[in-house]
Amino acid sequence: MVHNKQQEIMKSKELAKNMRKNILLMTHRAGGGHPGGCLSATDIIAVLYKCFLRVDPNNPSWVGRDYFFLSKGHAVPAQYAVLMEMGFLAKEEIKDFREIEGRLPAYPSCEITPGIDMASGSLGQGLSIANGTALAARLNNSDQRAYVMLGDGELHEGQVWEAMMTAAHFKLNNVCAIVDYNKLQLDGSIDEVKTLGDLNAKWASFGWKTIEIDGHDYEQIYNSFAEAKGFKEGPTVIIAHTVKGKGVSFMEDEVGWHCASPTDEQLEIALKELS
Shortest Å distance, C-beta 155 to another protein: 15
Mark the segment that binds another protein (CB under 8 A) among 118-126, 176-184, 235-243, 253-261. Answer: 118-126
- Segment 59 to 78, residues that bind another protein, using CB under 8 A: 63, 67
Main-chain phi, psi angles of 207, to 5 degrees: 95, 20
What region does 139 belong to: left with phi over 0, alpha with psi -120 to 50, or beta? alpha
Q: Which of 24, 81, 118, 238 binds another protein (CB under 8 A)?
A: 118
Q: Which residue, 38 or 137, is less far from another protein as judged by CB?
A: 137
If the CB atoms of residues 84 and 160 are measured against another protein, the closer one turns out to be 160
117 makes contact with another protein (CB under 8 A):
yes
User: Cα–Cα–Cα angle for 181, 17, 50, nearest 5°?
Assistant: 75
Q: Which of residues 125-144 bind another protein (CB under 8 A)?
A: 125-137, 139-140, 144
Instruction: Select the span of 43-51, 109-117, 209-217, 226-234 touching another protein (CB under 8 A).
Output: 109-117
Q: How many residues in the shown chain lie near another protein by CB under 8 A?
A: 37
Q: What separation in angstroms does the CA of 251 have from each of 75, 82, 133, 149, 254?
A: 15, 21, 36, 21, 6
183 secondary structure, DSSP code: S
Backbone CA torsion sign across 153, 212, 127, 38: positive
What is the C-alpha separation between 46 and 78, in angstroms, rounded?
A: 9
- Positions that interact with another protein (CB under 8 A): 63, 67, 109-111, 117-122, 124-137, 139-140, 144, 146, 158-159, 162-163, 165-166, 169-170
